[in-house]
Amino acid sequence: MVSIITERAEMPLSEARIDADEFARLRRENLARWPTGAEVDLDEAAEYHRNLPQHKQLGWVMRRAVAEGRCLVQPRGGFGTFELQLELMTTLDREGLADIVPTTTDSYTRNERWEQAAKGIEESKKAGRSMLNGMPLVNYGPKVARQLNQAIDKPSIVLSGTSMPKLTSEIGIAGGYSGYLGSGIAYTVSYTKEVPIEVGIRNYQYLDRLASEYMAKGVELHRRQPGFLTGTNIPPSIAIITCVLDALMAAAQGVRNYGLEMGQTMHLIQDAAAIACCRELCQEYLAKRGYTDVFTPITSLHWMGAWPQDEASCQTMVAYGGTLAAIGGAASVTTKSVHEAFGIPTPAANAEGLRTTRMAVYLARHIRLDGLPEMEREKDLIRREVRAVIDKVLEMGDGDVVVGSVRAFAAGVLDIPWSPNRYVKSNILPARDVDGYLRILSPGAMPFPKDVLEVHEESLRRRAEAEGRAYDMDLAVDSVYEMSEPLRKLLPDQFTRLAAE
């Protein structure tokens, strides 16, 4: 007997927009995976978003920020129960003066382990404190999410570090969140071990296609790419390469409001150059591919590596992070707090980080570095690094950005430092140079121009020389720890000690 039920073949991997029938089928399957999926009604949700006041729609708010030259301030944050999350979001809104209110999901949710998340909710209620590191948004569902969003007077964004955003995004957007962070390349290479790059990309094609479905119904959501990657020392060009590729993929699905995030290097000039180049290069490649109407605001992120335990040192990094974002001309900055070395901050500490940053943004609001020779030199370097790699990736995909990206990771042409993902070579190794810039110690197989690499090597060799040490991998390892080192080690307070060492 011939079965009339045939497995539908998966669509071939490509950047092409998912067609309407296929997308409808994918949505039906997706929403059936957990009971709260049944609460999602796209038409009703789109109407809910259309009726939100503009100042609660992140797509609109990001456009206003850029138009007015503002740098908005946004924290991260999520707790394991509705009550704790409500308190957090209202505190960040009112005490922290957050311009954008976040909901970070917990790590079980991110890995689609909803049964485990359910247990985490119960354990949190029992313990009277959050046992989860974020909000289990899927378990609570869109109706409860709307209660959270109705309690604040700002736009909100879902922060969910995962390569599996399909159900969480459906629930979150239907729940009134107008912003959604995450992308196929960046999150797959930094948050997963076993997920192949193409699977992560397909999952985000779904989310971007969903955003474009909302747009067809008159709702411009803000999608955003997490260029911070593995949260270590990411040289700007590496981040920007993933920004450009993820942006091209999102645009192909129909997204027109797409933010890019850049983790701070903690070097004033390099960060300003990075923000400027990210904006410029994303627009350059979008235009080359015919997308002339994509809005691409840049978000600068407080230091994403290890933080010191000393709260005074942390406070400085928070404030300096506001300065870096404002001078760099970022449309928004995402903050940390003095609790960063110990994990997730209390609502009060989180709100304090926001106000510290906000004051720094205010103080730096008039200052720009454009035209400074060091800045222009750095921008030139970044442009040459990014273009060499992107052009190669597009060539490898015969013009298809998705195919090219997957092939490029397999070949090591695309590479990410310290990646947990087994499909990433992780041979590229960054380190801080003699002048405090992040440079490339070892490029792996990434096709950077030879003369550019010579600039990197020369400045790293000068650091080794200045510190009287070998030019080797330890330069990279020490750079990972650097910011979290005790202040006395970073800047000794006794010349005698310095002489004795």
Partner 1 sequence: MKTLVTGVIGSDTHIVGNRILSMALEKAGYKVVGLGALTPAEDFVKAAIETDADAVMVSSLYGQGELDVRGFRDLFIEAGLGDIMIYIGGNLVVGKQQWGDVERRFLAMGFDRAFPPGTRTEIVIDTLARDFAARAAGKRIADSP
**DSSP classification of residue 130:** -
Query: Which residues lie below 8 Å from residue 85, measured CB to CB, with a gap of 6+?
Result: 78, 79, 103, 135, 148
In b/e form, how buried is each residue of 7-24, taking b as 16+ CB within 10 angstroms? Answer: eeeeeebebebbeeeebe
**DSSP classification of residue 258:** E
Binding mask 340-359 toward partner 1 (x if CB under 8 A, else -) reads -xxxxxx--x----------
In the complex, minimum distance from the CB of residue 471 to partner 1, in angstroms, rounded to a whole number: 18
Q: Could you tell me whether strands 179-181 and 156-159 are parallel, antiparallel, or unpaired per DSSP bridges?
A: parallel
Stretch that binds partner 1, among 39-47, 57-65, 123-131, 385-393 (CB under 8 A): 123-131
In the complex, minimum distance from the CB of residue 341 to partner 1, in angstroms, rounded to a whole number: 6
- Kindly state whether residue 232 participates in binding partner 1, applying the rule CB under 8 A: yes
Structure tokens at 470: 């070998």
Is the separation of the CB atoms in 361 and 342 below 8 Å?
A: no
d(CA 351, CA 97): 8
- Kindly state whether residue 425 participates in binding partner 1, applying the rule CB under 8 A: no
Q: Could you tell me whether strands 156-159 and 438-442 are parallel, antiparallel, or unpaired per DSSP bridges?
A: unpaired
Task: Please report where in the chains the tokens 């999150």 appear, as a residue.
Answer: 187
Is the separation of the CB atoms in 124 and 187 below 8 Å?
A: no
- Shorter beta-carbon distance to partner 1: residue 457 or 485: 485
Q: For partner 1, which residue of 156, 178, 190, 299 counts as binding (CB under 8 A)?
A: 190
Q: For partner 1, which residue of 74, 168, 203, 230 counts as binding (CB under 8 A)?
A: 230
Task: State how far the alpha carbon of 190 is from the alpha carbons of 143, 193, 265, 426, in Å.
Answer: 31, 8, 18, 11
Q: For partner 1, which residue of 339, 407, 425, 456 counts as binding (CB under 8 A)?
A: 339
d(CA 377, CA 380): 5
- Shorter beta-carbon distance to partner 1: residue 113 or 383: 113
Q: For partner 1, which residue of 23, 48, 191, 291 counts as binding (CB under 8 A)?
A: 191
**DSSP classification of residue 56:** G
Q: For partner 1, which residue of 130, 299, 313, 335 counts as binding (CB under 8 A)?
A: 130
- Shorter beta-carbon distance to partner 1: residue 190 or 257: 190
- Shorter beta-carbon distance to partner 1: residue 138 or 401: 138
Q: For partner 1, which residue of 412, 420, 436, 447 counts as binding (CB under 8 A)?
A: 420
- Kindly state whether residue 160 participates in binding partner 1, applying the rule CB under 8 A: no
H/E element holding 62?
helix 58-68
Q: For partner 1, which residue of 111, 315, 427, 459 counts as binding (CB under 8 A)?
A: 111
- Kindly state whether residue 139 participates in binding partner 1, applying the rule CB under 8 A: no
Is the separation of the CB atoms in 166 and 137 below 8 Å?
A: no
- Shorter beta-carbon distance to partner 1: residue 232 or 300: 232
- Shorter beta-carbon distance to partner 1: residue 22 or 123: 123
Binding mask 305-324 toward partner 1 (x if CB under 8 A, else -) reads -x--x---------------
Mark out the alpha helices in 261-341 (DSSP H runs). 268-288, 311-328
- Shorter beta-carbon distance to partner 1: residue 94 or 422: 422
In the complex, minimum distance from the CB of residue 193 to partner 1, in angstroms, rounded to a whole number: 5
Q: How many residues bind partner 1 (CB under 8 A)?
A: 43
- Shorter beta-carbon distance to partner 1: residue 59 or 430: 430
- If phi > 0 it is left, if psi is from -120 to 50 it is alpha, else beta; for residue 128 that is left
Task: State how far the alpha carbon of 425 is from the alpha carbons of 241, 276, 380, 415, 482, in Å.
Answer: 16, 29, 27, 6, 24
Structure tokens at 112: 């689609």
- Shorter beta-carbon distance to partner 1: residue 192 or 257: 192
**DSSP classification of residue 223:** E
Q: For partner 1, which residue of 37, 59, 102, 120 counts as binding (CB under 8 A)?
A: 120
In the complex, minimum distance from the CB of residue 470 to partner 1, in angstroms, rounded to a whole number: 14
User: In one letter, which amino acid is 290?
Assistant: G
Task: Burial-class residue 278 by CB neighbours within 10 Å (0-12, 13-18, 19+).
Answer: buried
Q: For partner 1, which residue of 133, 139, 169, 332 counts as binding (CB under 8 A)?
A: 133
In the complex, minimum distance from the CB of residue 409 to partner 1, in angstroms, rounded to a whole number: 17
Stretch that binds partner 1, among 32-40, 67-75, 131-139, 262-270 (CB under 8 A): 131-139
Interacting residues with partner 1 between 70 and 109 (CB under 8 A): 80, 106-108
Interacting residues with partner 1 between 481 and 500 (CB under 8 A): 481, 484
Nearest alpha-carbon partner for 325 in 32, 62, 70, 2: 70
Query: Which residues lie below 8 Å from residue 45, measured CB to CB, with a gap of 6+?
Result: 142, 173, 174, 214
- Kindly state whether residue 113 participates in binding partner 1, applying the rule CB under 8 A: yes
Q: Which residues here bind partner 1, judged by CB under 8 A?
A: 80, 106-108, 110-111, 113, 116, 119-120, 123, 129-133, 161, 190-194, 230-232, 306, 309, 339, 341-346, 349, 418-420, 422, 477, 480-481, 484
